């Protein structure tokens, strides 16, 4: 257990963790059930092309969410591309910049212009007021993102979409198993997209899904997922290969069976982080609405440099030196990533809430691979750094460090001047 600054790796202390602690290390579920399914699909020799496990997985998702249709895909990015085409989006679509870059790329890839919008001042989700101001004659839709499983203001966005005749889709990659005002996420808007990537609470090794109550969107998405084939040898529309494989569906079904267990573990981890970082000046653990369902898969802290004396990037690098791979979500915002930042339409774009958030938040390790002891040690490191931020900066500035000079330069540079 670290007791002083000299115990930190940057000052020559021992490495906190021999094994790297990741955000989103995969949940596995019941290995015996998974291996039994793999034996079964190998015996049947039906490995892809809408096999029985894919069909069962789709039905389970649709039932859990409470929608008519689930179309499983190879991954969530392909699902976003297919959903956008199936919803007949074109021209411009309004999205938050505070999202994983795949949200923007999926639109840009199919020739739709993402119009980046700011988030609300008090939270990570798209600001409906900013959405309304961004609507132009070229706007065909709104694509909200339920960041960290915290739902967008779907009712307000729905009202805006109806008033302007726009499609409303949601990127629900983080939000499987979460609810909004008592309704399961996945049943909102015209369609939503889930991710079942290995890092998600429920995973299918790699996978995604489109969920919708719109018969037309569902019919078009099913065609597009399979090259546009309507029957065995009849192609009726443009399509790609977006199918989920049987082996991925087998993992998805196995993961679904352990979902309640994964969620309990995540909730316990989240509560422990909140307890152990409570009342720590300058550090806020993002809170969930416990009156709603949530997967609690993301433990997020916000760092106030004015109070701690060190900025978020300094915390990030110190934790990485200790083998804690905390993540900067979603740094630095899509509008500041390529190809968008080099395009003229985004050159003077100012999104102050997004830019503030991307400079202050860190995601911490959680999930079934993280133990209470690991969480306690991570919290002790954060407490130590938060309460001695200015001293750490002074020691690094004076050259008192035993790790790479580049790291020390980065730690002092990203933190800026002292706010004492």
Using 70 as the pLDDT threshold, list the residues of the chain that sit under it: 1-2, 400-420
Indicate the burial class of 107 (C-beta count within 10 angstroms; 0-12, 13-18, 19 or more). Answer: buried
Phi, psi dihedral angles at 359 (to 5 degrees): -95, -5
Identify the pLDDT of residue 397.
83
Q: How many residues does the chain have?
A: 420
Identify the pLDDT of residue 123.
84
Identify the pLDDT of residue 352.
97
Strand positions, DSSP E, 20-149: 21-22, 69-73, 92-96, 113-117, 139-145
User: Does the CA dihedral 108-113-116-117 come out positive or negative?
Assistant: negative
For the stretch 45-81, what's the b/e string if a residue is b when 16 or more beta carbons lie within 10 angstroms of its beta carbon? eeebebbebbeebbebbbebbebebbbbbbbbbbbbb
pTM for the full predicted model? 0.93
Identify the pLDDT of residue 416.
38
CB 145 within 8 A of CB 103: yes
Q: Half-sphere exposure of 41 toward its Cβ, with a 13 Å CA cutoff?
A: 21
Cβ-Cβ contacts under 8 Å for 259 (sequence gap 6 or more):
177, 201, 202
Contacts 24+ apart (CB under 8 A), 83-86: 83/169, 83/191, 83/193, 83/210, 83/212, 83/217, 83/221, 84/110, 84/112, 84/141, 84/143, 84/169, 85/110, 85/220, 85/224, 85/238, 86/191, 86/210, 86/216, 86/217, 86/218, 86/220, 86/221, 86/224
Identify the pLDDT of residue 1.
59
What is the percent of the chain with per-residue pLDDT over 90, rounded to a whole number? 92
pLDDT digits (tens, 9 = 90+) for 109-161: 999 999 999 999 988 999 999 999 999 999 999 999 999 999 999 999 999 99
CB 195 within 8 A of CB 202: no
Angle 372-387/389-397 helices, nearest 10 degrees?
70
The string of DSSP letters for 243-277 reads PPPHHHHHHHHHHHHTHHHHHHHHHHHHHHHHHHT
Q: How many helices (H) and strands (E) does the chain have?
A: 15, 16
Distance CA 96, CA 119 (A): 7
Q: Which of 412, 416, 413 is nearest to 394 (CA)?
A: 412
- The four Cα atoms 340, 346, 349, 355 give a dihedral, to 10 degrees, of 0
Cβ-Cβ contacts under 8 Å for 330 (sequence gap 6 or more):
98, 99, 100, 101, 358
Distance CA 168, CA 189 (A): 5
Q: Please, what are the domains in the chain?
A: 5-24+259-326+365-415 (3.90.1150.10), 31-257 (3.40.640.10)
């Amino acid at each position: 257990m670290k007791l002083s600054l000299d115990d930190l790796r940057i000052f020559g202390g021992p490495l906190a963790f021999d094994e790297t602690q990741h955000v989103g290390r995969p949940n596995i579920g019941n290995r015996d059930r998974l291996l039994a399914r793999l034996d079964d699909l190998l015996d049947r020799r039906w490995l892809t092309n809408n096999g029985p496990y894919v069909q069962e997985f789709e039905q389970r998702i649709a039932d859990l969410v409470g929608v008519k249709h689930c179309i499983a895909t190879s991954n969530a990015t392909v699902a976003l591309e297919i959903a956008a085409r199936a919803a007949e989006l074109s021209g411009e679509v309004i999205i938050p910049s505070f999202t994983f870059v795949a949200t923007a790329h999926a639109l840009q890839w199919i020739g739709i212009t993402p119009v980046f919008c700011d988030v609300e001042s008090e939270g990570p989700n798209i600001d409906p007021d900013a959405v309304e101001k961004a609507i132009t004659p070229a706007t065909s839709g709104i694509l909200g993102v339920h960041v960290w499983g915290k739902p967008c203001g779907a009712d307000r966005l729905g009202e805006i979409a109806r008033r302007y005749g726009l499609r409303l889709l949601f990127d629900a990659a983080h939000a499987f198993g979460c609810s909004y005002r008592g309704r399961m996420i996945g049943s909102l808007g015209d369609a939503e997209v889930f991710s079942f990537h290995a890092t998600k609470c429920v995973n299918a090794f790699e996978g995604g899904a489109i969920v919708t109550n719109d018969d037309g969107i569902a019919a078009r998405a099913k065609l597009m997922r399979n090259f546009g084939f309507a029957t065995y040898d009849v192609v009726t529309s443009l399509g790609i290969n977006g199918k989920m494989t049987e082996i991925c569906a087998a993992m998805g079904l196995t993961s679904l069976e352990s979902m309640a267990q994964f969620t309990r573990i995540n909730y316990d981890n989240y509560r422990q982080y909140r307890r152990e970082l409570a009342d720590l000046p300058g550090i806020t653990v993002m809170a969930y609405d416990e009156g709603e369902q949530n997967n609690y898969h993301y433990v997020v802290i916000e760092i106030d440099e004015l109070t701690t004396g060190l900025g978020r990037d300094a915390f990030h690098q110190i934790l990485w030196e200790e083998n804690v791979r905390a993540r900067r979500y979603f740094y630095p915002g899509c509008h500041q990533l390529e190809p968008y930042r080099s395009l003229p339409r985004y050159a003077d774009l100012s999104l102050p809430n997004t830019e503030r958030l991307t400079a202050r938040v860190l995601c911490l390790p959680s999930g079934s691979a993280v133990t209470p002891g690991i969480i306690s040690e991570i919290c002790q490191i954060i407490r130590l750094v938060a309460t001695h931020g200015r001293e750490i900066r002074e020691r690094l500035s004076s050259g008192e460090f035993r790790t790479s000079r580049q790291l020390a330069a980065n730690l002092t540079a990203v933190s800026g001047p002292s706010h004492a």
